[in-house]
Amino acid sequence: MKQILQNLGSGETLLADVPCPRRAQGSVLIQSLRSLVSLGTEKMLVDFGKGGYLAKARSQPDKVKQVIQKIKTDGLLTTVDAVRAKLDTPIPLGYCNVGVVTETSRQSRFAVGDRVVSNGPHAEMVSVSENLVAKIPSGVCDEAAAYTVVSAIGLQGIRLLQPTLGERIVVSGLGLIGLLTVQMLCAQGCQVLGIDFDEHKLKLAESFGAMTVNLAADEDPVRVAEYWTGGQGVDGVLVTASTKSDELIHQAATMCRKRGRIVLVGVVGLNLRRADFYEKELSFQVSCSYGPGRYDANYEQRGLDYPIGFVRWTEQRNFEAVLQLLESGKINTNSLTTHRFKFDEALKGYDAIHEKGAMGILLEYEQQARPERNSRLLWVGKPTADQPGSKTETPSVAFIGAGGFTTRMLLPLLPSENLVRHSIISGTGVSASHAAKKFGFSRCGTEMRAVLEDETVDAVFITTPHNTHASFVVQALEHGKHVFVEKPLAMNREELAQVTACLNDHPSQRLMVGFNRRFSPHTVALKSWLRSAHSSKALVLTINGGKIPADHWTQDLEVGGGRIIGEACHFIDLARFVVDSPIEKVVATAMRSGDGRLGDCAAIQLAFQDGSIATIHYLANGNSAFPKERVEVFAGGKVFVVNNFRRSFVVGDKKSLKTRSQDKGHAGGVEAFIQRACREGHWPIPPQELAEVSLATLDADEQIRSQISASIEPA
């Protein structure tokens, strides 16, 4: 199928061939009929992409600070690679979609054949969470329905402003959202004053029932508002404009009566003047997209709705309210449409966004047979005859997952010769298509089954969210594949037992977990230096992990498992590898409350059979100027240090190692899997160590979680 993508690095807008998306859990699959180009968000992304690196840096100064700090800790080359990879990943454009449901779950409130609106992107097929989908009434045409989502942005601003019948409201900025907002305010019985530079937009606002102020004619909006209200001041201002200037908010405050309200829907400068708000006790609020639920993973991804008795207007209910207004004729969209393009010519629509007077740009999709689903893989370029894999010197590999880590850290490390790059799979297909083209894979898709059932594929790399790892590993092993899975191997003991049992049932298959630090040249040097220390060892591993917000997916106990399971496992494995003796005991102590409330500040103590000990300080409450990872080994009267995997040395000795950039062993790990597992049939990491480290990690996490739970229980 075809989809519109934006490359933020090169600035290229693409109408790309990508695999049809897989219907995610709790979602519906929709075949598109119409979609609306946003002159706000999409134009901003297109313009950002076309700007040079200097322009990009100027537009995001906060990101520049993060980059500078990363250079200090991780080195210049590592940072440059990370930034380039981030910008090179294409992103889908669009969020105003109209289509027909083609696939649902049995429990869905939608049925196949329903005509719906959603915030799906510009693509022939989209998979959208049910809470972001609404049925279209029979009296609303596809073209009008395409304005639903962008109208909901204005509607949410109105709900925050809370206007009442007869109040005088200013709409500052008469773009698409502004003109839709004018109509909704008039429908609510408000008197409306619209402000803009564009004479055509002003005439449209007047046709919808508003008074207007023409800034191009040097009309003073403050004076007009004063005259309009008889000197009382307006009740509220909705700012729907886009400008870097702070003047609009000052202007809005000056217009308002005492205790007036200002709601920002657009994007403007926010250097607020205290006197503007202090003297009149004004309220100011920023509206977030199209309503409650936006950016809430529980609502948007897991389908957990807010009870209507507590949250009357969610994103979905705002969609439904707009559709009612469209059906009743309270919102007119005919005069807002300035351009129409067939989807095959969609790129012309992105040229049109810079035309004077452009507003509603509609993309029309041909009604045709549904694009072929995911039963087969999509070829990247012309089909070719791949070299046979079948556990030979030239193994055939596939990737399940194509996120940032995969494209930045793993795919570039694959050997250039004696390897068949078979296919890459991802949920939406966009990242898989881009990665397959960039790294020379012959196919891409969205269905893992297509890869597992292909007998020519010898091995798979699994780099999906943590909660899928164990299940995907089992499926891959059962289909006769060698498996490289990113950490963690399992989220709980039951999953670990299932993987272990599957390995026992398939003894010819090899499994490797992405415990890359044991393959770092710094770790290799450390092991070599330790040969002279014939004694037990004491390890201190200090991990300055940095803070990750509570709403990040890695902190979600059901999806990411938290940072002990998701990240601290690396250092339990590193300690196990350095000591080279089985772990006998795990004692984990959590920092409780405050910075430790998420379970990502803890001390993990390991005792080994040979008498060695290790203490892992995993901390999220430090400063980014301090090294992220520091390993100290005390043994045989010496101290061995690995500092951030850039420099290693022996205290009081001339032995040292310094690499040009940070080297955490990713290259060594990929090489070990391809050579030892795929070609030679050996274990890159002994299976008993994989199980032992995973079990120790789960044990530590359980102790930490129980301590945190006990600390928050009421007395």
pLDDT of amino acid 696: 98
Locate 6 and state its tokens: 């934006």
Give me the pLDDT at residue 62, please. Answer: 64
Residue 436 and residue 411 in contact, taking contact as beta carbons nearer than 8 Å: no
> What is the reported pLDDT for 574?
98
Please report, rounded to a whole number, the percentage of residues in the chain having pLDDT higher than 70.
92
Band the pLDDT of 715: cuts 50, 70, 90.
Answer: very low
What superfamily does domain 160-286 belong to in CATH? NAD(P)-binding Rossmann-like Domain (3.40.50.720)
Residue type, 386: D
pLDDT > 50? residue 374: no
Q: Where in the chain is the domain with CATH 3.90.180.10?
A: 2-147+333-364
Amino acid letter, 582:
P
pLDDT value at residue 380 = 85
Cα separation, 253 vs 271, whole angstroms: 13
Superfamily of domain 2-147+333-364: Medium-chain alcohol dehydrogenases, catalytic domain (3.90.180.10)
Q: Which residue has 């067939």 as its token pair? A: 342
Average pLDDT value for residue range 245-255: 94
Distances from the Cα of 318 to the Cαs of 150, 159, 444, in angstroms? Answer: 11, 10, 37
The tokens for 493 are: 């003991």
Q: Which part of the chain has CATH 3.40.50.720? A: 160-286, 388-515
Decide: 246 and 269 in contact? Cβ < 8 Å. Answer: yes
Q: Which residue has the higher pLDDT, 54 or 513?
A: 513
Given CATH 3.40.50.20, say whether it is the number of domain 517-664+686-712. Answer: no
Per the CB < 8 A criterion, the answer to whether 542 and 536 are in contact is no
* Mean pLDDT value of segment 463-477: 97
Query: Of 473, 444, 471, 469, which Cα lies nearest the Cα of 459?
Result: 473
Burial class (CB in 10 A: 0-12, 13-18, 19+), 281: exposed
Between 370 and 503, the higher pLDDT residue: 503
Contacts for 28 with CB less than 8 Å, ≥ 6 apart? 101, 103, 104, 108, 110, 116, 118, 127, 128, 130, 133
Kindly tell me the number of DSSP H helices and DSSP E strands found in the chain: 24, 31
pLDDT digits (tens, 9 = 90+) for 274-288: 999 999 999 999 999
DSSP single-letter state for residue 517:
G
Using pLDDT thresholds of 50, 70 and 90, give the confidence band for residue 87. Answer: low
CATH 3.30.360.10-classified regions of the chain: 517-664+686-712
- CA atoms of 298 and 563, how far apart (whole Å): 20
Please compute the mean of the pLDDT values over residues 530-552 and round it to a whole number: 92
| pLDDT at residue 391 tops 80 | no
pLDDT digit string, tens, across residues 199-209: 999 999 999 99
The token pair that represents 299 in the structure block: 């609502």
- Look at 177 and 714; give whichever has higher pLDDT: 177
- pLDDT of res. 385: 63
Identify the pLDDT of residue 591: 94
Quick: pLDDT tens for 305-342: 999 999 999 999 999 999 999 999 999 999 999 999 99
Who wins on pLDDT, 280 or 59? 280
Q: By the 8 A CB rule, do 403 and 376 touch?
A: no
DSSP bridge pairs for 630 = 542, 643
In whole angstroms, give the CA distance from residue 676 to residue 519: 13
Tokens of 416: 């250039």
What average pLDDT does the chain have? Answer: 91
The answer, yes or no, to whether residue 69 has pLDDT greater than 90, is: no
Strands of 211-214's sheet in order across: 211-214, 191-196, 168-172, 234-239, 256-264, 283-286
- For the stretch 475-512, pLDDT in tens is 999 999 999 999 999 999 999 999 999 999 999 999 99
pLDDT above 90 as % of the chain: 78
pLDDT of residue 402 exceeding 90, the answer is yes
What does R_g of the chain's alpha carbons equal in angstroms? 29
The rounded Cα 292 to chain-centroid distance in angstroms is: 19
| E strands present in 535-601 | 538-544, 583-590
Among 588, 605, 569, 602, CA closest to 689? 569
Q: 485: Cβ–Cβ under 8 A, 6 or more apart, which residues? A: 461, 462, 463, 469, 472, 473, 511, 512, 513, 514
Q: What is the pLDDT of residues 135-169, one digit of tens each?
A: 999 999 999 999 999 999 999 999 999 999 999 99
The whole-model pTM stands at: 0.85
Q: What is the pLDDT of residue 54?
A: 61
574 close to 541: Cβ distance less than 8 angstroms: yes
Rounded CA gap, 564 and 323, in Å? 46
Considering only residues 474 and 61, tell me which one the structure prediction assigns the higher pLDDT: 474
Chain segment 652-695, per-residue pLDDT in tens: 888 999 998 899 999 999 999 999 999 999 999 999 999 999 99
Question: Residue 201, by phi and psi: left (phi above 0), alpha (psi -120 to 50) or beta?
Answer: alpha
CATH number for domain 388-515, candidates 3.40.630.30, 3.40.50.720, 3.40.430.10, 3.40.50.261? 3.40.50.720
The token pair that represents 258 in the structure block: 């005492």
Cis? peptide before 488, omega within 30° of 0 = yes
Contacts of 160 (CB under 8 A, 6+ apart): 263, 285, 287
What is the amino acid identity at position 350? Y
Cross-strand pairs, 634: 538, 639
* C-alpha to C-alpha distance for 340 and 364, rounded to whole angstroms: 7
**CB atoms closer than 10 angstroms to residue 467:** 19
Query: Does 386 score more than 80 pLDDT?
Result: no
